[in-house]
Chain A
Amino acid sequence: MTKQVQQLDRVIIRFAGDSGDGMQLTGDRFTAGTAEFGNDLSTLPNFPAEIRAPAGTLPGVSSFQLHFADHDILTPGDAPNVLVAMNPAALKANLADLPRGADIIANTDEFTKRNLAKVGYPANPLEDGSLAEWRLHAVPLTSLTVKALETFDISKKDAERAKNMFALGLLSWLYHRPTEHTVSFLQTKFARKPEIAKANIAAFQAGWNYGETTESFSVSYEVKPARLAPGLYRNISGNQALAYGLIAAGVQTGLPLFLGSYPITPASDILHELSKHKQFGIRTFQAEDEIAGVGAALGAAFGGALGVTTTSGPGVALKAETVGLAVTTELPLIVVDVQRAGPSTGMPTKTEQTDLLMALFGRNGESPLPVIAPMSPSDCFDAALEAARIAVAYRTPVMLLSDGYLANGSEPWRLPEIDDLPDLSAPFTTAPNGPDGAFLPFLRDPDTLARPWAVPGTPGLEHRIGGIEKADGTGNISYDPDNHDRMVRLRQAKIDGIDVSDLAVDDPGGQARVLVVGWGSTYGAIAAGVRRVRAAGGQVAQAHLRHLNPLPANTGEVLRRYDKVLLPEINLGQLALLLRARFLVDVISYNRVRGLPFKAEELAGVIQDVIDSGDRQ
């Protein structure tokens, strides 16, 4: 029997199962195959903070969503076309997101009386007709896997655990994914347990063969490779891109990188990644706490290193005092905040944009610092370089606001040419700058207002810095009222004067009267929403802020150019507060704080509503 092959332009798949079912790994592997095949893609891992929540329960459900297409896409997709549900909890937790008519592949082996009861199903939904509006494929994934592995010398438990590879094989068949990669991956992953490696590969192949032979699947799908800009690509997550960006920043500044960090979700992977690359002269220091992490980074910066600390919101709260010290001592420092849902512990594995005002204002005294935010996983690389540029050139701590969605999400990244990376070197001061051979540690560069960076080991430039107010120029302790007023203003002026590029506006029709502004990780969803509105004939302009402080010089002018300005944020309107205060523009906020990114369709609706309400006036 030859099965029908149907062409699709894009597909959204969600793998969902128990935390222990290996859904993140399955998603990762499907993503790798998809990247290798040449589709554009975007991913959304979604997992509980508990490492192993009670098996089979709703809080234990872990999922991985992948959107892939034959054209460039901007988000991990709104609603899945296919849900792989490894147990009743996974079905129950995800069904609401699934449009009618979508495919459900359910592991029937796990739909036992006990498991159904655990999540409150009075009857088996696979059998009671309640899923009639979806295309249900009931597959005994576990028992098929165990049967396929009968001849292997492994435990029943190990055989059962390979069911995610069976599912991966089935999905790989269904969407014509290449298989070589997964086979070699499994060989490497289980290199020390060859029997387990063989079993997993066999399970993967059994899944593929099942798709090929069973009548449950009569159609398979093809999504052609995307036509992306020419270049060399790899798939990359935000945290990995950020780590690579920091490594590149070390190379491009010519400074040894020093990372002081304390483990925290969702930032820890940056520490993990950097600790693997010590051949770049990178020192990674897992500190006793968040405060020591930033303290050590600042100490290293005083010694001439590129000091970096990585954390999430609760860590930023703890580091605030040391960041203030970096502001007043005017030393370069990069503070990476991978934002997560708060307040307090909040929801550690869920995304949010709620640390913006803390980043800007969360310190005692007048304590200005630059804030920048990447807009996609791969953009974290460029954002890290930009943070380093500003930190080093202006001798200031810089706050980089990533978030959980960028950190764990991934997309294809067109690799930059190394020769095109910016030269970020800023030489240390090595000679006295004052009269009679004196050294004035707070005598500023007239252009940048940066002070000299004279590191220990430099003869003749011995000086003391600290948290107490410093006399302009000499840096000696000063309680003089006028001096303090001057220093407060100088520190502010230095940050205000940082050279940042103008805010670009995307308005292909040139007729838009509504502008959508965003910042950070919402870029993809906003741009996808804008596309939909334009495709439906609407006129809308889009601008996205990378620099939150200082704001681009043309920000006010851009905002005032439009009748209406819409600002979607995953907070309760933090940037809106700022833009309203700074520019007296009546920004329309759209806010959701559900721990999840916006959906394109949702934003398209919001944009259309704003356009329509404009028409009515």
Chain B
Amino acid sequence: MTELINGTGTGAGAGKGQGQGQGQGLSLVPKAEARQSLKDFKSDQEVRWCPGCGDYAILAAVQSFLPELGLKRENIVFVSGIGCSSRFPYYLNTYGVHSIHGRAPAIATGLAASRPDLSVWVITGDGDALSIGGNHLIHALRRNVNLNILLFNNRIYGLTKGQYSPTSEVGKITKSTPMGSLDKPFNPISLALGAEASFVARTLDSDRKHLQSVLREATAHRGASLVEIYQNCNIFNDNAFEPLKDPEVRDDITLKLEHGLPIASASKAVVRAADGGLEVVPRQSVDPARILVHDAHRPDPSVAFALSRLDEPAFEHVPIGIFRQVDRPSYDTLMAAQLEEAVAQKGQGDLAGLLTGGDTWRIG
């Protein structure tokens, strides 16, 4: 055990390759010997979200996805902050920390940076991640700490009973904003891309297949992955994402992002605008060759950023999927490399040598 966490050799070789990183993400996490099933990941704790909460769907999707990774359960850690979503770790039979409001990325950074053999997940919400914890989120992303960050975005404060959140639309009437909220909301995807996150995606609580496909890519990615999950709060902000779920309109407004494929919904397509930006046009009217082909691996994040702005005004068309997925050394790898470098230059740490290393003199 001590060997596992001690020493400086951990992380050697990981992320040093120049490939696209797929499959690298969990290469240092030991594999389970036996096949696993959903029930291996259910804890004995009673799940206590409101009936109908979108969190149930996400929990079920994660619990049924984890066996697919085939990792030793004891090498998985879920870290959360405070809020409804942050109860998540209690319901998974892995290691877990339910920490304090906004600080999960910071706590997880210390864990992931010192333990490359762990699969570390951060579970957070729009208030936790973008309000009180905004600073930690952007720094975890820019450092590319090896974390899977799941941001449950329901655009409302649930646990404190219904105040507007940093992703609520302007003019939101809530208990704390009876005359309507004044604040311009954050777009979490734009924010993450602004922090130059190496993996940024958006998915939906009710679409298990898509959610799990994104998780698959996120876990294969070594470094920080931010997955925004639109999640319904049926108590305080019901049907916030209804257009994306309504069979009548969802296929028209969902712009699916799939690497190498044209970006389009059933009736709309994304093309380069004359002013150099992006615009959404009726699909029928456009030459298919003009439709923007999604390149999630593009080193420069500016096109991904432009894509993240397409849902303004809200929900006329919403990009869903992986906005960005680029290879960049993971923070733990860089840190471990420095420790190795220090040993290579100075030899293993020698306490006696350190203490007597300055100018000394002897008495007696």
Which A residues fall within an 8 A CB radius of B? 32, 35-36, 38, 181, 227-236, 244, 247-248, 251, 254-256, 258, 260, 277-283, 285, 287-289, 291-292, 295-305, 307, 321-322, 325, 329, 415-416, 418, 428, 430, 455-468, 476-477
A581 vs B363: C-alpha distance in the bound complex, in angstroms?
Answer: 46
Which B residues fall within an 8 A CB radius of A? 1-2, 4-8, 43, 45, 72-77, 79, 82, 89-90, 93-100, 103, 106-115, 117-118, 135-136, 139, 335, 338-339, 341-343, 345-349, 351-352, 354-356, 358-364
A313 vs B20: C-alpha distance in the bound complex, in angstroms?
Answer: 45
A298 smallest CB distance to B (angstroms): 6
B43 CB contacts on chain A under 8 angstroms: 464
- Cβ contact within 8 Å between A36 and B359: yes
- Name the contact of B72 in the complex, choosing from A36, A459, A468 (C-beta under 8 A): A459
- Cβ contact within 8 Å between A462 and B94: yes
- Nearest A residue to B82 via CB reads A467
A460 vs B95: C-alpha distance in the bound complex, in angstroms?
Answer: 10
- Nearest A residue to B2 via CB reads A254
A38 vs B55: C-alpha distance in the bound complex, in angstroms?
Answer: 70
A300 vs B115: C-alpha distance in the bound complex, in angstroms?
Answer: 8
A416 CB contacts on chain B under 8 angstroms: 355
A47 vs B133: C-alpha distance in the bound complex, in angstroms?
Answer: 36
- Nearest B residue to A293 via CB reads B106
- Name the contact of B135 in the complex, choosing from A277, A292, A296 (C-beta under 8 A): A292
A477 CB contacts on chain B under 8 angstroms: 45, 90
- Cβ contact within 8 Å between A292 and B103: yes
- Cβ contact within 8 Å between B359 and A32: yes
- Cβ contact within 8 Å between A279 and B355: no
27 A-B pairs whose Cβ atoms sit less than 8 Å apart in the complex: A247-B354, A251-B349, A256-B5, A256-B6, A258-B110, A277-B354, A278-B341, A279-B8, A279-B339, A280-B351, A281-B8, A282-B349, A291-B103, A292-B109, A295-B107, A299-B107, A301-B110, A303-B77, A329-B97, A415-B356, A415-B360, A455-B1, A462-B94, A462-B95, A464-B95, A465-B96, A465-B98
- Name the contact of A295 in the complex, choosing from B6, B110, B347, B358 (C-beta under 8 A): B110
A557 vs B106: C-alpha distance in the bound complex, in angstroms?
Answer: 45
Known: A291-B103, A292-B139. A233 touches B361 (CB 8 A): yes
A428 vs B361: C-alpha distance in the bound complex, in angstroms?
Answer: 40
A248 CB contacts on chain B under 8 angstroms: 351
- Cβ contact within 8 Å between A229 and B363: yes
A221 vs B77: C-alpha distance in the bound complex, in angstroms?
Answer: 66
A80 vs B31: C-alpha distance in the bound complex, in angstroms?
Answer: 68
- Name the contact of B359 in the complex, choosing from A35, A285, A466, A476 (C-beta under 8 A): A35
A234 CB contacts on chain B under 8 angstroms: 355-356, 358-361
- Cβ contact within 8 Å between B135 and A302: no
A460 vs B73: C-alpha distance in the bound complex, in angstroms?
Answer: 9
In the complex, which of the residues B93, B99, B342, B348 has the most CB atoms of chain A within 10 Å of its own CB atom? B99
B65 smallest CB distance to A (angstroms): 18
- Nearest A residue to B7 via CB reads A281
- Nearest A residue to B132 via CB reads A291
- Cβ contact within 8 Å between A296 and B110: yes
Known: A456-B95, A456-B115, A466-B99. A418 touches B352 (CB 8 A): yes
A236 vs B360: C-alpha distance in the bound complex, in angstroms?
Answer: 10
A456 vs B341: C-alpha distance in the bound complex, in angstroms?
Answer: 27
B129 smallest CB distance to A (angstroms): 14
B95 CB contacts on chain A under 8 angstroms: 302, 456, 462-464
- Cβ contact within 8 Å between A279 and B356: no
B170 smallest CB distance to A (angstroms): 28
A478 smallest CB distance to B (angstroms): 12
- Nearest A residue to B88 via CB reads A464
A145 smallest CB distance to B (angstroms): 26
A228 CB contacts on chain B under 8 angstroms: 363
Known: A459-B72, A462-B95. A232 touches B356 (CB 8 A): yes
In the complex, which of the residues A36, A38, A416, A477 has the most CB atoms of chain B within 10 Å of its own CB atom? A477
- Nearest B residue to A296 via CB reads B110
- Nearest B residue to A417 via CB reads B352
- Name the contact of B115 in the complex, choosing from A229, A232, A255, A457 (C-beta under 8 A): A457
B72 CB contacts on chain A under 8 angstroms: 457, 459
Known: A234-B358, A464-B89. A457 touches B75 (CB 8 A): yes
B363 CB contacts on chain A under 8 angstroms: 38, 227-231, 233
B103 smallest CB distance to A (angstroms): 5
- Cβ contact within 8 Å between A305 and B114: yes
A455 CB contacts on chain B under 8 angstroms: 1, 5
A233 CB contacts on chain B under 8 angstroms: 360-363
A228 vs B363: C-alpha distance in the bound complex, in angstroms?
Answer: 7
- Cβ contact within 8 Å between A299 and B135: no
A283 vs B364: C-alpha distance in the bound complex, in angstroms?
Answer: 38
- Name the contact of A457 in the complex, choosing from B4, B103, B360 (C-beta under 8 A): B4
- Cβ contact within 8 Å between B99 and A467: yes
Extra A-B contacts (5), CB below 8 Å, given A305-B5, A464-B96, A465-B98: A233-B360, A280-B349, A415-B355, A428-B2, A467-B98
- Cβ contact within 8 Å between A458 and B355: no
B8 CB contacts on chain A under 8 angstroms: 278-279, 281
B98 CB contacts on chain A under 8 angstroms: 464-468
- Cβ contact within 8 Å between B97 and A466: yes
- Nearest A residue to B343 via CB reads A279
B339 CB contacts on chain A under 8 angstroms: 278-279, 281-283
A297 vs B114: C-alpha distance in the bound complex, in angstroms?
Answer: 10
A184 vs B166: C-alpha distance in the bound complex, in angstroms?
Answer: 60
In the complex, which of the residues A278, A298, A430, A476 has the most CB atoms of chain B within 10 Å of its own CB atom? A278
Known: A35-B361, A285-B109, A325-B99. A464 touches B90 (CB 8 A): yes
A35 vs B359: C-alpha distance in the bound complex, in angstroms?
Answer: 9
- Cβ contact within 8 Å between B106 and A296: yes
A258 vs B332: C-alpha distance in the bound complex, in angstroms?
Answer: 12
- Cβ contact within 8 Å between B109 and A456: no
- Cβ contact within 8 Å between A232 and B362: yes
- Cβ contact within 8 Å between A456 and B110: no
- Nearest B residue to A250 via CB reads B349
B109 CB contacts on chain A under 8 angstroms: 285, 287, 292, 295-296, 299
